[in-house]
Structure 1
Amino acid sequence: MIPDRPNAFHGIYAATLCPLLDDGRIDETTLARHLEANAFVPGMAGLLINGHAGENFMLSREEKRRVAEIAAEVCGRRSILVSGINAEDSFEAQRHVDDAKAAGADAVLLFPPFSWALSQDEHMAVTHHRIANANAQMPLMLYQAGVNAGAMAYRPEVLAELAQLPHVVGIKEGSWEAAAYEANLRLVKRVAPHVAMMASGDEHLFTCFLVGSEGSLVSLAAVTPELVIALEQAIRRQDLDEARRLNDRIYPLAKAIYGTAPGGYATARLKTCLKLLGRIPSDTMRLPMGPLPVAEVAALERALAAAGVHA
């Protein structure tokens, strides 16, 4: 539910995961428990469901709608629910946005299609966003892809035009590079100052929060929500000693999850962390992703211990 206050979308959002049964079906009971646990952490503004960490690219349209329905049932009155939309075809994206609205989501985050990593012209992104939200006209968040994501990362002139579209309320800024983050922050604040810049580089949240942000949508907040919220609050009150102390706990875990090759294992690592912490019973991924190697699991155990996160 969107709160009735100024800057309603500002704050920390946990980008949640999608627990699976051993046969690959959604574990709805564990999913509900996972969503509720994150939604009720003090200081948590909302949840990003069906994001990259939620395996939106692996779930069917019906499954993504079901995830949104469960989220609305268990914590829709408590949290702002942002549903990720990932579709190659603009009218398919529109159907998914319409589904999200019908299921009870409050806003949508539209990811650039993976095929754009090869190429896109200056019109495709704007057209895609206009068509996707044409029916629902929901509050809309943009996704700025990483500097190594090829043409999926919007050029400054494209990002500026997108930020000025109707219904845009925020940007999940995933450049994963501090200088690019600051450049995009300054650009957006010049052309669309009402749009919230939401840092999402889990490995450098400290840096991005210092440069300036209105919150964050990150999967690390689904594993260590209290630490991420505390880090953002420490920087807001300009307690840099406390912020550095928190960052020293967060950084090794962020590197173990996101900064270790291959990067495509990040969601599997997040699930394994939750299993190690006893929060989900299984870290099953959909094929072709199999179980993590034993050495990976051991590295995550060490990183969780270093962060002071325990079962």
Structure 2
Amino acid sequence: MEAAREAAALEQAGADGLLVFPPNSWALSHADDCVIEHHRRIRGATASPLMLYAAPVGAGAMAYTPSLLERLVADPRFVAIKEGCWEVATYERNLRLIRKLRPDFVVLGSGDEHLLTSYLVGSAGSQVSLASVVPEVVVSLWNAAEAGDWTSARAAHERLYPLAVAIYRDAPRGRATVRLKACLKLLGRLSCDAVRPPQPPVIPNELRALEQALRIAGALQETKNG
């Protein structure tokens, strides 16, 4: 009900479309009808096009099964999906299922570490937080893939991959927000990279890894003393 109220408020404020995330509590367990009801209530409170979210396979029960995904995609109010399963085989399985059910449905690859693979398998674009840090490199990867220039696409991937690993994969996990903000501060786009407790601030080892990855991506230049 809270999500439905927020969705209606966002639409009234001028949103052209809405992305419906699953509640974090679903990571433990949920009934399929609970998922359908969550989306039904948001649909009933709004009139805008809606987007589904496919959670990472590592997020417990939050990732939708094929049978549940089929029920969600059947709703004509939903026109797209942020496909964030973060696992290549599952991404392709979901893509093929959705295309079979609704060829017009927009699938946006959302695995920051395997954008190249999702573009090769098939994607209508991306919705990734990595693009907030190095949008030019993400766009260059997409443009090369669209043109079928896989040599250039691979080169862009080589620039992106170390940064994706440093932000999303390196231990400890669950630090993406902290590291994204640290990157934006390193690039001069944020004056402060403070995060809310209980997350601790970025530590020196993380910062060094991010600096190196940003240099590989071509976003951060070497200092005179570096």
Which TM-score band (shorter chain)?
A: over 0.9
- Paired-residue identity, %: 51
Residue 275, structure 1, aligned to residue 191, structure 2 = no
Greater C-alpha Rg: 2
TM-superposed CA distance for 1:254, in Å, is 0.5
Please list the CA deviations of residues 259-279 of structure 1 after superposition, one character each: whole Å capped at 9, or x if unmatched: 112221101100000000001
Q: Which blocks of at least 5 consecutive residues in structure 2 are unaligned?
A: 222-226
Offset at residue 189 of structure 1 (A): 0.4
Distance 1:253 1:245 in 2: 14
Q: Is it true that 1:170 corresponds to 2:80 in the alignment? A: yes
Distance, in Å, in 2 between the alignment partners of 1:112 and 1:262 is 24
Matched ranges for 1:40-79 at <5 A: none
CA shift at 1:184, angstroms?
0.2
Corresponding position: 1:158 with 2:68:
yes
Query: Which position in structure 1 is the counterpart of 2:41?
Result: 131
Structure 1 CA distance, aligned partners of 2:147 and 2:24? 39
Instruction: Please report the RMSD computed on the Cα atoms of aligned residues, expressed in angstroms.
Output: 1.0
**Equivalents in 2 of 1:148, 1:264: separation in Å?**
12
Query: Partner of 2:224 in structure 1?
Result: none
Aligned with 1:284 (options 190, 194, 198): 194
Q: Distance in 1 between matches of 2:136 and 2:88?
A: 23
How many corresponding residue pairs?
221
Q: Which SS does the other structure have where 1:216 is aligned? A: coil
CA–CA separation in structure 1 for the residues paired with 2:209 and 2:220? 15
- Note the C-alpha offset of 1:135: 2.0
User: What does residue range 73-92 of structure 1 map to in structure 2 within 5 Å?
Assistant: 91-92=1-2
Q: Is 1:112 aligned with 2:45?
A: no
Q: Which moved more, 1:147-156 or 1:117-126?
A: 117-126
Aligned partners of 2:193, 2:158: CA distance in 1, in Å? 27
Question: Residue type of the partner of 1:255?
Answer: V
How far apart, CA to CA, are the structure 2 residues paired with 1:299 and 1:212? 31
Partners of 1:168 and 1:193 lie apart in 2 by 13
**Which of the two has greater helix per residue?**
2
User: Equivalents in 1 of 2:48, 2:173: separation in Å?
Assistant: 32
- Where relative contact order (Cα < 8 A, 6+ residues apart) is larger, the structure is 1
